[in-house]
């Protein structure tokens, strides 16, 4: 299962909704599992169907505890990042909770090797169907809210580069060399971000 890269038109179109009947088919269940495996291989914390060439309102999410081991505790706290168990979101509707924003570097498996500062709602409510076709309401804050927003953007034909602070766009190598461990406020001041 190949992850398509920016420039592929499928990443720029709104994906189609899925019916409960479609979700419950053996084929769809196999697809969800294959996306889970591909997300782990990448590795990533989310993968949307358009990223694997399928124009469906489906994304899988999991922020495994093992991904947190090399992240400094202060950064986990600042990002409000906690493990998130595996689940799928299907036909999601996103609603920000409150006005508070959070801004952090964000990457994407479909923009391999790059990152940028992206402002997003700190807390969100997502109404969707789960991998069994059952209705679900998710309230999330911090990093989990960011993951949800990022994946739902994919389902609506948007990429993080549409929301990023353009002056912060960087390669992953330069992110590690120049910005690793620095507070976002210092980075924005240095870059004279818009």
By annotation, the residues acting in catalysis are 151
- ∠ CA 141-165-112, nearest 5°, is 80
Distance of alpha carbon 120 from alpha carbon 107, whole angstroms: 14
Whether the CB-CB separation of 64 and 41 falls below 8 Å is answered with no
Q: What sections of the chain are H helices per DSSP? A: 20-23, 26-41, 73-79, 142-155, 172-174, 184-191
| Rg of the chain on CA atoms, in Å | 16
Distance of alpha carbon 104 from alpha carbon 118, whole angstroms: 6
């Amino acid at each position: 299962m190949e992850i398509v890269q920016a420039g592929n038109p499928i990443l720029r179109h709104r994906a189609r909704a899925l019916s409960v009947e479609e979700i419950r088919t053996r084929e769809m269940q196999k697809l969800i599992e294959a996306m889970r495996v591909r997300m782990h291989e990448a590795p990533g914390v989310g993968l949307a169907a358009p990223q694997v060439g399928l124009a469906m309102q489906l994304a899988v999410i999991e922020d495994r505890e093992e991904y947190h081991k090399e992240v400094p505790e202060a950064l986990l706290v600042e990002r409000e990042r906690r493990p998130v168990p595996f689940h799928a979101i299907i036909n999601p509707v996103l609603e920000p909770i409150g006005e508070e924003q959070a801004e952090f570097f964000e990457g994407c498996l479909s923009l391999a090797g790059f990152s940028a500062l992206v402002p997003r709602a700190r807390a969100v409510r997502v109404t969707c169907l789960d991998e069994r076709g059952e209705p679900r309401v998710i309230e999330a804050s911090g990093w989990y809210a960011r993951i949800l927003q990022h994946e739902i953007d994919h389902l609506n034909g948007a990429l993080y580069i549409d929301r990023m602070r353009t002056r912060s766009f960087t390669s992953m190598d330069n992110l590690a060399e120049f910005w690793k461990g620095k507070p976002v406020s210092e980075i924005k001041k240095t870059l004279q971000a818009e």
